[in-house]
Amino acid sequence: MGIGKFRTGNVIRTKYGTLEIVVDVKSDGYTETIHVCSSNTSAGHKHKTYVEDVGCICGYISCPICGGHEKNLVTIYGMEDAVLVAPTVKDWITNILLEKFNFNQRSS
């Protein structure tokens, strides 16, 4: 869905499972977020998922990471793999309260 998938204020869940609030969606292919469950923590995600060779300097033929090839390809998931949890923080909090405390059920 590209750059227009998310906007400032959205609550998202990344492919890694973290819950984050979108702070800024940049046109240069980068999105800035803050973590909901961690204090004083921010993050940045590229819009597109990519594979990066982080290398391995082990030198062992039987290395469980690189298999002796000294290459370690890692998939870095981008915003294209994130899921919208709520359009705003207010909606996210309201939904949690309604769900957890059963405020949306009427008694008869």
Quote the pLDDT of residue 104: 59
Q: Looking at residues 46-57, what average pLDDT do you find?
A: 86
Residue at 5: amino acid letter: K
* pTM for this prediction: 0.73
Token duo for residue 58 = 């082990």
Tell me the pLDDT tens digit for each residue of 78-91.
Answer: 999 999 999 999 99
> 9 pLDDT exceeds 80?
yes
Q: pLDDT category, 69, cuts 50, 70, 90?
A: confident
Taking the C-alpha atoms of residue 103 and residue 97, their distance in angstroms, rounded to an integer, is 7
Quote the pLDDT of residue 1: 39
List C-alpha distances in Å: 95 to 19, 25, 73, 82, 91.
15, 24, 39, 19, 6
